[in-house]
Structure 1
């Protein structure tokens, strides 16, 4: 007897309980880090637009490090090439976990966020290129508006005091994870300096050692920390942006628990638990402090809307992200027969797509590597700030308009009348937490 045909999956439905717990923990840290990021960016903007701007630039340009190893860098470069490696290491672990046990583990659940993220990168890049071509500008900054800053987006939601359901936040988080991978691939493939084959070969060899240590279950931070530093230094000297090393190590770390060894947490889980607060609360805010200090004078703001390159960035973030993510999600859902959660509407997906236009951290990083001239870099950074603020303002209006619905869904999702630590909605039918895959998670 043939099996009954499988019905359409539910898009943005109730997350399985283990995934709900993992997502909630990650989002909590990212939200706090996002608020710190907002403060750091505000401090940088104020400091760089006061009579004390000289002290800001002097501190930003202080050099230290070991020149013999090619690591005599400015404070700004240490934050961009060093601290952001921690951010991308955590992003790599997130991606590995999604591939092993999350929404990217099967084609059925991966197609929507992957298509949405890819469209959310391609459309902004296309808008930038069209704007640059129409205005006779340079095409080199096409990758700047491709990025989504999950921490900044969550900070906006926290400031608005919204009650966005976990499924919507999880979809945004997955979008950002795929987006981060796309950004690092773009940096590695298109924005490399002169390559040093010997150093790159050394980096690859060290990554192989890193993999073998994981493969043979070798434990002890004293093995991995020095090796990670060596991989980072060789990658930097090899001419590839050093943050690529972070993603590579994150993808190598094992994210599945070894049941035979009785592991309570995998190496990836332990590393993420240790480094996520450092990434969200220290690395990204410090990068913002020394990258977001741009002039917001009338001439610079005027050039944002009159010169093709910065205008392309603004349009890419504000229009390209919204159109790309929403259009990609809608088409993917239609052709995969995914059914939208009946408690939500496509307006909620569009609000999320607009919110993804906040491209602060990675957009600033790509702006620094894509433009060499300081004046161009200043304008591009101003455009990233303007575009991100416009996207945040538009998303705030859209999200607050639906917040009464979000509040009701959030309360239902978190109601725990028997006070056993597990919301009642996860025990409604069986009295046990919903297992992975038991609820349609699109």
Structure 2
């Protein structure tokens, strides 16, 4: 099928590339000329394992192209996906739909023949109705069907998630779109991926409800971790004990410094705002947001307490800056708040991250960046693991101990066993484990 993806950001690029890998003819459109030129030259604007190779293969085979010309790219296409950003709107926290609606207007002006218009961006309930209204207003003769098809991609595992999804949700009001969308995802039938057709508004809400539930699950285990520290229990064993219950499940029960990234913070806030607009407030999610925001700052205080209550003029080495491993995404990363809390207390920060340092430089001031964990740890009074990159899972503890001025090891992801670290002469502090 002939597919156009409007937006070559994280969702649009990964989705478009994977569709081309299925055998579809795909054009990825973005108004950022520098981004498109980089993609045409084989340079990726984001870090995602495996992405560069798949882009190169499909460009070579003629199934994937990049363009800044929206008008030309939407003519005579079967399906047009809108995959532009929906950040939190400044001032009120609602999802900013300006990019989505602007794309809809432009598409309407140039679309030809029957075309399925798909909102891939994460959008509040009712956005599909507004997209359809705007498009019909801009071009009353346009023959279109507007569909909701939310994405469920995890950064760092997006390609595998796209090709082996738990579910594919498609919300529609025009039955003509059903066979078209079935054909778009037909290559996944061999993987027995469940294709769930719903009403459009239901589809839009599924995305928000799913992300909010996962955010709540993370926040829940973090609060249980705090209780574990007080009562002398081990949160990892608690998580395993409750996660073995099939009704609960083990995923997203890993205690840490709080959630961040491009989805959970903005999606939980947008859901809360939508619920308030409809006079159906979601108190659990409101509390989840508040607890998560507070936790990040509290993790900074945790480091200060571990250092004896005073970090002024002392060097703290931060390992991991991105909100999760295998991405360069710094959006709402816990490391930002933690570092700022430490700096407010007078600490000197040195940091290392395998992929996130370029983006971190845009967000953090007065941070020294190192080219390895061991350089970051040199003469440090505390070392803090914030993001659990694989290369941090087997650090040479003897080498770290020799490099540091004060052997304090703060493990915010519980990567290490207490005994393993303490036998190398460190003082160890974890999350949700009494005495470390």
* TM-based fold match above 0.5: no
Higher helix share: 1
Pick the structure with greater CA Rg.
2
Q: TM-score, normalised by structure 2?
A: 0.27
Q: TM-score, normalised by structure 1?
A: 0.27
